[in-house]
């Protein structure tokens, strides 16, 4: 499953993890993605939606 919201476009973000000695390593933050069944253009489809969009009901007004 892709880590990208099909409603708002939120995806994985990259940055650094910094230890106590300030050595830096790579890390990433991924959005909380759920695969839901939604009506898109009058058809029932499965889309990947982040929980922020689910909570604000943005997937109800989603049109491709």
pLDDT reported for residue 23 = 97
pLDDT reported for residue 28 = 96
pLDDT, tens digit, 9 for 90 and up, residues 6-59? 999 999 999 999 999 999 999 999 999 999 998 888 888 999 999 999 998 877
Residue 61 confidence (pLDDT) above 80: no
pLDDT reported for residue 1 = 57
pTM of this prediction? 0.74
- List the one residue out of 27, 29, 55 whose CA is nearest residue 7: 55
């Amino acid at each position: 499953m892709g880590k990208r919201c099909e409603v708002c476009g939120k995806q994985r973000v990259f940055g650094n993890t910094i230890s106590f000695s300030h050595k830096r390593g790579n890390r990433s933050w991924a959005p909380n993605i759920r695969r839901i069944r939604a009506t898109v253009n009058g058809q029932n489809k499965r889309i990947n939606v982040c929980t922020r969009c689910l909570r604000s009901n943005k997937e109800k007004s989603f049109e491709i």
